[in-house]
Structure 1
Amino acid sequence: MPSPSGCSSSPPASVSPASVPPAEEPAMELAAHHHRPVTRDADGMAVASFVLGLAGLLFFNALLGPAAIGLALLALRGRTARRGRAFLGLALGAADLAVLAALVTLNGTVSWNLG
């Protein structure tokens, strides 16, 4: 029975419910648009680990060594394409801590000088 405005409340007979496309869930749509590759971030962490480990051999080895180790482990966990660089960062971070341990043992301090 038509409503007072002349429109019926049921869909027309020519449109079947199967021909109407289902509504997409907004959560699925948002996830598809904001997908970022994990390997790109992991590659950046591998490079940062290498740079921090290398710089840590010269200065701030108490801070840069553990940072290099942490970034290298995160990069390896993130399946980086630069595994060699991540392993170098891990080794350099460990070397930073070895230099720190040697300085503390030999000089009794965490600083060093060339003269």
Structure 2
Amino acid sequence: MRLTAPPRERTGRRDTEGMAVASFVLGLVGLVVLNLVLGPVAIALALTALRRGTPRRFRAVLGLVLGVADLVVLAALLAVHGGTAWTAFG
């Protein structure tokens, strides 16, 4: 009698699609808030999805570009304002 389920075949394709979409979304959100956290996470997810051969390659590349843009925005804020706060009246 077998007590465990038979092992499933894992292709990883669905995982890479999710990583590509998540990197895009996190990179996009990171342009507005939490640049320091969301930028590197978006970059890591995008690179992982691309290495694993995601079918959503364009989204992964966009996530990579947006993750890098997050860090550029952070660097610009640090250079101009000396901090990361977005202020309307400075």
TM-score (norm 1): 0.70
Q: Secondary structure at the match of 1:33?
A: coil
Please list every run of 5 or more consecutive structure 1 residues that lacks an aligned counterpart in the other structure.
1-29
Larger C-alpha radius of gyration, 1 or 2? 1
Higher helix share: 2
Please state how far the C-alpha of 1:35 moved relative to its aligned partner: 1.8
Partner of 2:37: 63
Please list every run of 5 or more consecutive structure 2 residues that lacks an aligned counterpart in the other structure.
none
Q: Write out per-residue CA displacement over residues 69-106 of structure 1, whole angstroms, 9 at most, x where no aligned residue.
A: 00000100111000000000000000000000000000
* Partners of 2:36 and 2:88 in 1: CA distance: 18
How many residue pairs get matched? Answer: 85
CA RMSD of aligned residues (A): 1.4
Matches within 5 A, 1:1-115: 33-115=7-89
Of all paired residues, the percent bearing the same amino acid is 57
Mean CA deviation greater in 92-101 or 35-44: 35-44
Partner of 1:11: none
Amino acid corresponding to residue 56 of structure 1 in structure 2: G
TM-score (norm 2): 0.88
Segments of 4+ moved more than 6 angstroms = none
